């Protein structure tokens, strides 16, 4: 029987701030001495990572585990959906791909998957004082309620209180909260323990009358109004946080010159977080782009990962970006391809797996190698912060490997299947020094102490500090704790 406490952070919409609030609570509870774990029963994201034991989970759950002081594990995200098109997603269960599903056939899987999720949550509750669960999308999707895995379906199965987060920055937050409360069943409504307003700017006294009226209408108290936190960008949950034109990195340059990085915003981008490590370095500015002029002007262009390599390669061609990339390569302009982006740089791509193309398609031809997609997926955690998750394999290659015996490097061209490689501070500095030399930026100087993990930890602490200042966490623990856990929590605190 489960003994530890658990609560569910749900959101009125996707990108309402569930992942950030969950990470902040995990960090705050861990700092208070509680044994805390994150949990997301079902995630839909192409931002994933490989755990030390070789399983694949959502990147956000890896961040939340870091906030708890834990190594990432498949038990924190037992079900992962990776969209490859508007209609099909790869289904990953307990870290391993089990096939592709569409919206209709996925419904058939859900009841069995709910058992997977509840079993994992029960196991976590046996080992931890509190488990902070993150919902998926909106809990008000009543058309999906009968087979719900991650929201009220999980909460009912596990007896968890639910806190609903609304993003006031996008407008209509009171209607979102009221509507969510009104549309769900009475049974589910009874589990809602509180509302949370996220990303608030301005004078709280102006908002207060609305919150008072909302409580009169619903009987649910707003537990916290969390202010907008500037500068959060580490480990984004999904590609919604990588819009075209967004700029990452603002630290002053240490030398006389900056490095400008153009990261191509692919339609089916995966692991957009890879470029964040570059932005940690002082004097490096990263911008998400989709235009040829930016590719021409930047000091470094990054072609990131993709869950649909052949499709996104076609998108590059449709916008003329393939021509801009070849022109750039012809004048020795630095280009980095990561995973799917690396595959696009090849001479040919034979993909009967993801795109189901009947014949090989021509790549960008920037690197003299060929890619063949295999049905089995490569999942490797290299133990240095980098990891591989891909179906595409390098076949013939006339290029010099870049990292050990992996990837490719020639002149100002780099390619690798490794995600997270540039999070290693020494590796990033070595790479950026080479880029600056190739770009003729002799005035750029790398930092001797910039730390990706330090930046990640600082952002988590900032989130936790903000939540602690605006939400009574002692009261929250009292609301969600079993009698046995209340005593344990008090002792730890």
| CATH superfamily for domain 5-233+455-492 | P-loop containing nucleotide triphosphate hydrolases (3.40.50.300)
Q: What is the DSSP string of 181-235?
A: HHHS-HHHHTTEEEEEEEEE-S-HHHHHHHHHHHHHHHS--EEEEEEP-TT--TT
Task: Tell me what pLDDT residue 311 has.
Answer: 95
| Residue 351 confidence class, pLDDT cut points 50, 70, 90 | very high
Give the lowest-confidence range in 35-49, 77-91, 289-303, 413-427.
Answer: 77-91
252-438 shares the fold of 5-233+455-492: yes
Average pLDDT of span 121-142: 95
The percent of residues in the chain predicted with pLDDT above 70, rounded, is 93
Tell me which H or E stretch contains 397: strand 387-397
- The CA distances from residue 30 to 25, 131, 166, 373, 404, in Å, are 8, 11, 25, 42, 37
Q: Which pair of tokens denotes residue 25?
A: 């609570």
- The CA distances from residue 48 to 273, 296, 429, 472, in Å, are 9, 30, 24, 32
Task: Tell me what pLDDT residue 236 has.
Answer: 61
Task: Tell me what pLDDT residue 350 has.
Answer: 97
Rounded distance, CA 492 to CA 451, Å? 30
For residues 31 and 230, the model is more confident at 31
| Residue 484 confidence class, pLDDT cut points 50, 70, 90 | very low
- Using a 10 angstrom Cβ sphere, with 0-12 exposed, 13-18 middle and 19 or more buried, the burial of residue 429 is middle
Average pLDDT of span 436-455: 94
Task: Tell me what pLDDT residue 14 has.
Answer: 86
Helices (H) and strands (E) in the chain, counts: 16, 26
Average pLDDT of span 10-32: 95
Domain ranges of the chain: 5-233+455-492, 252-438
Rounded distance, CA 486 to CA 113, Å? 31
* Residue carrying structure tokens 């196991």: 123
* Residue carrying structure tokens 């010159």: 257
| Residue 1 confidence class, pLDDT cut points 50, 70, 90 | very low
- Sign of the C-alpha dihedral computed for residues 205, 207, 209 and 214 taken in this order: negative
For residues 183 and 244, the model is more confident at 183
Task: Tell me what pLDDT residue 389 has.
Answer: 95
Whether 152 contacts 116, CB under 8 Å: no
Q: Which pair of tokens denotes residue 490?
A: 């008090």
Task: Tell me what pLDDT residue 492 has.
Answer: 38
What is the CB neighbour count within 10 angstroms for residue 364? 24
For residues 143 and 493, the model is more confident at 143
Tens-place pLDDT, residues 356-407: 888 999 999 999 999 999 999 999 999 999 999 999 999 999 999 999 999 9
Task: Tell me what pLDDT residue 3 has.
Answer: 74
Average pLDDT of span 236-245: 66
- Using a 10 angstrom Cβ sphere, with 0-12 exposed, 13-18 middle and 19 or more buried, the burial of residue 230 is exposed
Task: Tell me what pLDDT residue 105 has.
Answer: 66
Rounded distance, CA 133 to CA 162, Å? 9
Please give the positions annotated as active site. Answer: 419
Task: Tell me what pLDDT residue 241 has.
Answer: 62
Q: Is CATH 3.30.70.1400 what the domain over 252-438 is classified as, yes or no?
A: no
| Residue 234 confidence class, pLDDT cut points 50, 70, 90 | low
Residue 485 has pLDDT above 80, yes or no: no
Q: What is the DSSP string of 119-164?
A: HHHHHHHHH-SEEEEE--S-TT-GGGGGG-SSSHHHHHHHT--EEE
For residues 56 and 146, the model is more confident at 56
- Sign of the C-alpha dihedral computed for residues 49, 51, 55 and 57 taken in this order: negative
Rounded distance, CA 295 to CA 328, Å? 8
Task: Tell me what pLDDT residue 172 has.
Answer: 94
Cβ contacts of 153 within 8 Å, gap of 6 or more = 114, 145, 147
Whether 177 contacts 166, CB under 8 Å: yes
| Residue 488 confidence class, pLDDT cut points 50, 70, 90 | very low
| Residue 232 confidence class, pLDDT cut points 50, 70, 90 | confident
For residues 100 and 229, the model is more confident at 229
Average pLDDT of span 89-104: 84
Rounded distance, CA 243 to CA 239, Å? 7
Average pLDDT of span 420-448: 96
Rounded distance, CA 336 to CA 329, Å? 11
Task: Tell me what pLDDT residue 299 has.
Answer: 98
Q: Which of 287, 314, 301 is nearest to 435 (CA)?
A: 301
Q: Within 13 Å, how many C-alpha atoms sit on residue 437's CB side?
A: 9
Rounded distance, CA 354 to CA 356, Å? 6
Average pLDDT of span 456-460: 93
Residue 483 has pLDDT above 60, yes or no: no
Q: What is the mean pLDDT of the chain?
A: 91
- The CA distances from residue 36 to 23, 32, 72, 79, 489, in Å, are 11, 10, 13, 20, 11
Average pLDDT of span 399-426: 96
For residues 146 and 76, the model is more confident at 76
**Residue 304 phi/psi, 5° resolution?**
-80, -175
Task: Tell me what pLDDT residue 203 has.
Answer: 92
Rounded distance, CA 24 to CA 22, Å? 5
The percent of residues in the chain predicted with pLDDT above 90, rounded, is 80
Task: Tell me what pLDDT residue 214 has.
Answer: 98
* Residue carrying structure tokens 């569409």: 102
Rounded distance, CA 454 to CA 477, Å? 28
Task: Write down the pTM of the prediction.
Answer: 0.90
R_g over Cα of the chain? 23
Whether 70 contacts 77, CB under 8 Å: no
| Residue 490 confidence class, pLDDT cut points 50, 70, 90 | very low
- Using a 10 angstrom Cβ sphere, with 0-12 exposed, 13-18 middle and 19 or more buried, the burial of residue 356 is exposed
Task: Tell me what pLDDT residue 147 has.
Answer: 87
Q: What is the DSSP letter of 368?
A: S
Q: Which pair of tokens denotes residue 138?
A: 């909106």
- Using a 10 angstrom Cβ sphere, with 0-12 exposed, 13-18 middle and 19 or more buried, the burial of residue 402 is buried
| Residue 433 confidence class, pLDDT cut points 50, 70, 90 | very high
């Amino acid at each position: 029987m489960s003994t530890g406490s658990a609560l569910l952070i749900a959101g009125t919409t996707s990108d309402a701030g569930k992942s950030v609030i969950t990470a902040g609570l995990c960090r705050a509870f861990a700092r208070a001495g509680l044994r805390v774990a994150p949990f997301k029963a079902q995630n839909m994201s192409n931002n994933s990572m490989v755990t030390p034991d070789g399983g694949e989970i959502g990147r956000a759950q890896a961040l939340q585990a870091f906030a708890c002081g834990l190594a990432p594990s498949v038990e924190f995200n037992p079900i992962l959906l990776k969209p490859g098109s508007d209609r099909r997603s790869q289904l990953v269960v307990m870290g391993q791909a089990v096939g592709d599903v569409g919206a209709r056939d996925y419904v058939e899987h859900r009841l069995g998957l709910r058992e997977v999720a509840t079993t994992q949550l029960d196991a976590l509750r046996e080992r931890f004082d509190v488990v902070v669960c993150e919902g998926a999308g909106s809990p008000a999707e009543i058309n999906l309620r009968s087979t719900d895995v991650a929201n009220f379906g999980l909460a009912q199965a596990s007896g968890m209180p639910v806190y609903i987060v609304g993003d006031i920055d996008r407008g209509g937050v009171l209607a979102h909260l009221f509507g969510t409360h009104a549309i769900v069943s009475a049974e589910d409504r009874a589990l809602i323990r509180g509302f949370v307003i996220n990303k608030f700017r301005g004078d709280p006294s102006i908002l207060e009358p609305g919150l008072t009226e909302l409580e009169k209408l619903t009987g649910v108290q707003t537990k916290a109004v969390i202010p907008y936190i500037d500068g959060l960008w580490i480990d984004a949950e999904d590609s919604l946080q990588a819009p075209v034109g967004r700029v990452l990195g603002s630290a002053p340059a240490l030398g006389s010159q900056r490095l400008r990085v153009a990261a191509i915003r692919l339609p089916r981008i995966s692991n957009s977080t890879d470029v964040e490590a570059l932005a940690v370095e002082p004097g490096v500015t990263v911008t998400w782009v989709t235009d040829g002029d930016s590719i021409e002007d930047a000091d470094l262009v990054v072609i990131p990962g993709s869950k649909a390599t052949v499709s996104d390669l076609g998108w590059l061609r449709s916008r003329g970006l393939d021509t801009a990339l070849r022109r750039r390569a012809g004048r020795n302009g630095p280009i980095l391809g990561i995973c799917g982006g690396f595959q696009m740089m090849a001479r040919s791509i034979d993909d009967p797996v993801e795109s189901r193309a009947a014949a090989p398609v021509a790549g960008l031809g920037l690197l003299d190698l060929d890619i063949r997609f295999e049905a089995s997926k490569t999942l490797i955690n290299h133990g240095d912060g980098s990891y591989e998750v891909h179906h595409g394999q390098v076949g013939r290659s006339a290029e010099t490997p870049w990292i050990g015996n992996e990837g490719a490097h020639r002149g100002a061209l780099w390619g690798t299947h490794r995600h997270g490689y540039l999070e290693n501070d020494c590796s990033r500095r070595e790479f950026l020094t080479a880029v600056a030399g190739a770009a003729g930026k002799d005035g750029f100087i790398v930092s001797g102490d910039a730390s990706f993990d330090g930046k990640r930890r600082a952002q988590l602490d900032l989130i936790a500090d903000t939540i602690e200042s605006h939400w009574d966490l002692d009261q929250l623990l009292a609301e969600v704790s079993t009698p046995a856990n209340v005593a344990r929590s008090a002792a730890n605190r």
